[in-house]
Amino acid sequence: MHTYSLKRWLLLSTGWLAIILAAAGVILPLLPTTPFVLLAACCFMKSSPAAHQRLLQHPKLGPILLDWQQHRCIRRDVKLKAFAVIVLSFSLSIYLAPHPHLKLMLLAIGLIVFGCMYRLPERN
């Protein structure tokens, strides 16, 4: 197998795995969605222009990815929705956690995720 085709295959595989993990992250509160979508976009950009274009044309993900690629920021409404999802999902997880140390761990992770999202540059 040529080096180019091996590299392309690895990037494509990583991109599709990232998409699967991003989809799981929509449901699972501790699995982040956004970094996996960004990873998939990066992998597809280097391995499959068609897959990259499909991702950019996605009605929900496309505008967010374009904002990030072109301006290195996210829109304020996207950030506010992300805050709401973080608070709701971590609150539910903390409520359902059976042990106090798990509740504290979830609280710490939630605060870190919230802080990382807060620090991202935004545009109106």
Domain boundaries, the chain: 1-72, 73-124
Burial per residue of 57-95, b for 16 or more beta-carbon CB atoms within 10 angstroms, e otherwise: eeeebeebbebbeeeeebeeebbeebeeebeebbeebbe
pLDDT tens, N- to C-terminus, the chain (124 residues) = 566 788 999 999 999 999 999 888 878 766 778 778 888 999 999 999 999 999 999 998 898 889 888 998 988 988 888 888 889 888 988 999 999 999 999 999 889 988 988 998 998 8
Q: Provide the token pair at 28.
A: 């699972």
pLDDT at 1: 52
pLDDT at 74: 87
pLDDT at 3: 66
CB-CB contact of 41 with 69 (8 Å): yes
pLDDT at 2: 64
